[in-house]
């Protein structure tokens, strides 16, 4: 089961997805809400924290989650504060009951990762793309529009056209026509 713990949070935060199953994992910690309490309410415990990238709104609750559960923090770049284990491009990561392939997708931030499971037909897109063709900002430090377009193109080449669900760093998850939303983001980012 995948649950967005930040769904009803009104403060500035990213989404924080609790993926329950064989390996209970939090994808992104969010910011300015009781993420540890939300994990306890829905899962009771946590095996790992996996990051799409290290912008503050995705890692603001990192210390709180680590203190509460004593978990390792996985991300692309171990030089980033709080990241204790690296995830390489193409590496397999267990989230819940499925294996996901980590895709290094820079453009929004250099350490950005997406996670895709062909078996589950699910993509965790972070801040690369959003519902309705939105895409991550490239005007922040480490932002690069050309890299972002290349990263979106890579995701389009990787995921199935009948992608069942795309969980994004902000806004609603997409459970109908997610591939089309990625295509729209690719088109919009090229303008």
CATH number of the domain enclosing 70: 3.60.15.10
pLDDT at position 44 is: 80
Residues 81 and 131 in one domain: no
User: Of 109, 89, 108, which Cα lies nearest the Cα of 100?
Assistant: 89
Residues 104 and 191 in one domain: yes
pLDDT digits (tens, 9 = 90+) for 82-98: 999 999 999 999 999 99
Range(s) of the domain holding residue 146: 100-191
pTM value surpassing 0.85: yes
Distances (CA, A) of 156 to 34, 135, 150, 152, 160: 34, 14, 10, 6, 8
Residues 75 and 26 in one domain: yes
Mean pLDDT (the chain, rounded): 97
Assess contact for 92 and 99: CB atoms under 8 A: yes
Phi, psi of 43 (to 5 degrees): -135, -20
Residues 131 and 67 in one domain: no
pLDDT at position 182 is: 98
Asked if residue 93 belongs to a domain, the reply is no
Residues 131 and 178 in one domain: yes
Residues 118 and 191 in one domain: yes
**Angle (CA) 9 164 19, round 5°:** 45
Q: Is 87 helix (H, G, I), strand (E, B) or coil?
A: coil
Residues 53 and 108 in one domain: no
Residues 3 and 52 in one domain: yes
Domains in the chain, number: 2
pLDDT digits (tens, 9 = 90+) for 85-139: 999 999 999 999 999 999 999 999 999 999 999 999 999 999 999 999 999 999 9
Please count the other Cβ atoms lying within 10 Å of the Cβ belonging to residue 65.
Answer: 23
Residues 43 and 15 in one domain: yes
């Amino acid at each position: 089961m995948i649950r967005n713990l930040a769904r009803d949070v009104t403060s500035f935060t990213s989404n924080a997805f609790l993926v329950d199953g064989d390996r209970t994992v939090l994808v992104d910690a969010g910011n300015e809400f009781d993420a540890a309490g939300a994990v306890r309410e829905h899962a009771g415990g946590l095996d790992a924290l996996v990051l799409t990238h290290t912008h503050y709104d995705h890692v603001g609750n990192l210390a709180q989650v680590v203190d509460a559960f004593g978990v390792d923090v996985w991300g692309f770049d171990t030089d980033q504060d709080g990241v204790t284990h690296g995830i390489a491009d193409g590496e397999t990561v267990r989230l819940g009951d499925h294996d996901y392939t980590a895709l290094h997708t820079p453009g929004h931030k250099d350490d950005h990762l997406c996670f895709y499971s062909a078996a589950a037909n699910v993509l965790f897109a972070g801040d690369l793309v959003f519902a309705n063709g939105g895409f991550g900002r490239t005007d922040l430090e480490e932002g690069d529009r050309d890299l972002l377009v290349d990263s979106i193109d890579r995701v389009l080449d990787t995921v199935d056209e009948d992608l069942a669900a795309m969980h994004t760093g902000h806004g609603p998850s997409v459970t109908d026509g997610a591939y089309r939303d990625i295509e729209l983001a690719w088109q919009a980012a090229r303008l």
